[in-house]
Amino acid sequence: MDLHFLDAPPTDTERAAVDAVLGAPESGWDGGERQASDLRFAQGGHAARGRRDLLLPALHAVNDRVGWISREALDYICRRLTLPPAEAYGVASFYAMFALERRPKRVVHVCTDIACAGAGSDRLCAAMTERAGAPGSADGDADLVWHESPCLGLCERAPAALAIEAGDPPAYAVAAPAEASDLVGDAPTGAAAPGGDGAAPVATPSSNGHRRPRTTTFSPAPLPGPSPEPEPGAAVPQSGDPGLLLLRRVGVVDPESLDDYRSHGGYAALREALRLGPSGVIREVSDSGLVGRGGAAFPTGRKWDATARRPETPRYIVCNADESEPGTFKDRVLMEGDPFSVIEAMTIAGYANGAATGYLYIRGEYPRALSRLENAIARARDRGLLGTDILGSGFDFDIEIRRGAGAYICGEETAIFNSIEGRRGEPRSKPPFPVERGLFNRPTAINNVETLVNVLPIVLMGGPAYARIGTGRSTGPKLFCVSGSVRRPGVYEVPFGATLRELLTLAGGAGPAPLRAVLLGGAAGGFVRADELDIPLTFEGAREAGATLGSGVVLVLDDTVDLAAILVRIAAFFRDESCGQCVPCRVGTVRQEEALQRLSLGTGPRRTDLALLREVGAAMRDASICGLGQTAWNAVESAIDRLGVFGAEETTLKEVR
């Protein structure tokens, strides 16, 4: 592709999509009509480059409305933001949901990841191939194209698919469990988005001087389908249990109603936080023993205290809602079923950390969650619960949404910063850590959705009372995403210390076929055998058992599942999702998949391939920049060593040296 600026203008539709995000151009220097005065001097270049964080929303705007991003549209975006085309192309090509070649307006993503693979996604893919052609292919007159997709976060209803149709606004349909007939049909006509016409708000100044839209431009309308998508309460078998702390409102309150949320205790925690003061909130969070629920388990109170103590301003809060770990869907359920709790928790985090702006980075495959959060932010602003002088306290805080575009690596905390800033979502080397130099090179506290929602009961009940839930070193409740061969898949809330057996009993037990294994922690986790179900679900208990809780994935596999195929799919996932920045991960994930392919087909020397896997796995674990490469070997290693997949004999690195 020629990455010089072009003379060809964008179409009117492309121009309108970009201008809806960036505002109208002010001169010929930023994409407007060239005037004679523009030839004498340029002004505003620094301001335009300071808006680089609007690159991702601008790319989304074109992709949403047109269905793909043409060279002319990319060129126009670059002129508007004073960016070299090569840099913008590098960003646009990084994300799987963006298309840089013409394609049909309707795109269908069929999940083939581990939960859906175990539930028969191969049959769904075969049916899609028969009805719509090979994945990624479309004839000139085709009305849709489909792709095999990583996890869509719909594991409790596998196999799943997501259909998106470009337009103003774009339309969507979620099918779970999915049939090809749900996904291949007539295109919708005149679909309207609920609650509005989908037009983006004009960009407005923010606290750090950048001009940004308050939200992204995606306000999806539903595609016609065989039945409406179930509400998130359906994914919570415990819905209505008054003893729950985190899920007690999901399936009970109207997620679109601020009044309903407040009638069930909403915003009581914010009022209490304002009474405690910033240092008081941090003290309660520290006393609670709360640690990150995304897998790293770093103490939240320590992170907040370190951020609040930094002298640099502005400081930022980032909510990591890019849950892309295969088998994980708890954050989706919280955002869809209790969105106001996420906004309230972010507001408290902003207050405690001295931040005036928060960014909520949500994965692009969650259209319903996005719509619910946009509504919650708008309603909170209307009632003085976001914006200036919140509840008359003198505290100013607002939230902007940034939508991901299909990149698992953006779940890594520093990759999120790069993505928000309009760069490729590649991890940064640490130190410096985010509390020192995070988003926009300023002190930043970043937490995932579940971690933040835990702050609400902590503030209300007090840190010491919260710490008495669970165990001494793993405090509070934990959400687990149970899927696979169980009778009642869904999100379950249990206190730390419950056993895996107790959790599976809560989920109705395994299906009719004998239990083979349980994958804990997702693709980055590890397997445990059917005779190891008494493992306590605590960080230390899982560690002592040679497993990990990770993000809370509990994927149950019976003996009808092809474990070798599951391992190949995990390896393919990491190979696809590696950002390619470091050699151990970029090369190691490919070699791992190749060796597993040979082992599953029986086409290579088994002993040599097993030894090769161990050597490659050790290199990735020891030398990769971030957690993707460091954990890419975990599940494969546990399957070989604990489950005896491939009839593994004892192999060591020494044997191949």
The enclosing domain of 496 has a CATH number of: 3.10.20.600
Give pLDDT, residue 267: 98
Query: What is the amino acid identity at position 483?
Result: S
Q: Encode pLDDT of 33-50 as tens digits.
A: 766 555 555 566 666 668
Strand, coil or helix: what is 49? Answer: helix
Round to the nearest angstrom and report the end-to-end CA distance of the chain.
Answer: 44
Count of the separate structural domains present in the chain: 5
How far is the C-alpha of 379 from the C-alpha of 68, rounded, in Å?
32
CB burial class (10 A; 0-12, 13-18, 19+) of residue 279?
Answer: exposed
Same structural domain, 437 and 343: yes
- The H or E element spanning position 346 is helix 339-353
Same structural domain, 367 and 451: yes
Closest CA to 113 of 567, 432, 546, 610: 567
Sign of CA dihedral 336, 340, 345, 347: positive
Scan for tokens 């409102």, then name that residue. Answer: 249
Q: Is the confidence at residue 204, as pLDDT, over 60?
A: no
Q: Domain span at residue 55? A: 12-92
What integer is the mean pLDDT of 317-331? 95
Whether 494 is covered by a domain: the verdict is yes
Same structural domain, 327 and 446: yes
Q: Encode pLDDT of 544-555 as tens digits.
A: 888 899 989 999
Same structural domain, 24 and 81: yes
Q: Encode pLDDT of 271-280 as tens digits.
A: 999 999 999 9
DSSP label at residue 146: E
pLDDT tier for residue 234 given thresholds of 50, 70 and 90? confident
Q: Encode pLDDT of 343-394 as tens digits.
A: 999 999 999 999 999 999 999 999 999 999 999 999 999 999 999 999 999 9
Whether 191 is covered by a domain: the verdict is no
CATH number at residue 151: 3.40.30.10
Whether 56 is covered by a domain: the verdict is yes
Q: Is the confidence at residue 399, as pLDDT, over 80?
A: yes
Query: What is the amino acid identity at position 617?
Result: G
pLDDT tier for residue 149 given thresholds of 50, 70 and 90? very high
Same structural domain, 449 and 357: yes
Q: Is the confidence at residue 311, as pLDDT, over 60?
A: yes
Give pLDDT, residue 217: 35
Same structural domain, 322 and 369: yes
Same structural domain, 437 and 354: yes
Domain boundary among 92, 124, 155: 92
- The H or E element spanning position 356 is strand 355-362
Give pLDDT, residue 42: 57
Whether 192 is covered by a domain: the verdict is no
Q: Under 8 Å CB-to-CB from 288, ≥6 apart: which residues?
A: 301, 454, 458, 463, 464, 466, 467, 475, 476
Whether 200 is covered by a domain: the verdict is no
How far is the C-alpha of 535 from the C-alpha of 413, rounded, in Å?
29
Domain boundary among 183, 206, 234: 183
How far is the C-alpha of 145 from the C-alpha of 137, rounded, in Å?
6
Give pLDDT, residue 26: 78
Same structural domain, 390 and 450: yes
Q: Encode pLDDT of 483-506 as tens digits.
A: 999 999 999 999 999 999 999 999
pTM of the model: 0.91
Q: Encode pLDDT of 521-544 as tens digits.
A: 999 999 999 999 999 999 999 998
Same structural domain, 344 and 404: yes
Whether 303 is covered by a domain: the verdict is no
| Helix axes of 339-353 and 300-309: crossing angle, nearest 10 degrees | 50
What integer is the mean pLDDT of 595-618? 93
What integer is the mean pLDDT of 124-142? 87
How far is the C-alpha of 261 from the C-alpha of 252, rounded, in Å?
10
What integer is the mean pLDDT of 322-339? 96
Domain boundary among 558, 589, 605: 558
CATH number at residue 610: 1.20.1440.230
pLDDT tier for residue 183 given thresholds of 50, 70 and 90? confident
Tell which phi-psi region holds residue 604, choosing left (phi > 0), alpha (psi between -120 and 50) or beta.
Answer: beta
Same structural domain, 55 and 165: no
Same structural domain, 551 and 567: no
Whether 480 is covered by a domain: the verdict is no
> How does the average pLDDT of the chain come out, rounded?
89
Query: What is the amino acid identity at position 501?
Result: R
Whether 466 is covered by a domain: the verdict is no
CB burial class (10 A; 0-12, 13-18, 19+) of residue 534?
Answer: exposed
Same structural domain, 568 and 517: no
What integer is the mean pLDDT of 101-107? 94
Are 374 and 195 in contact, with CB atoms under 8 Å apart?
no
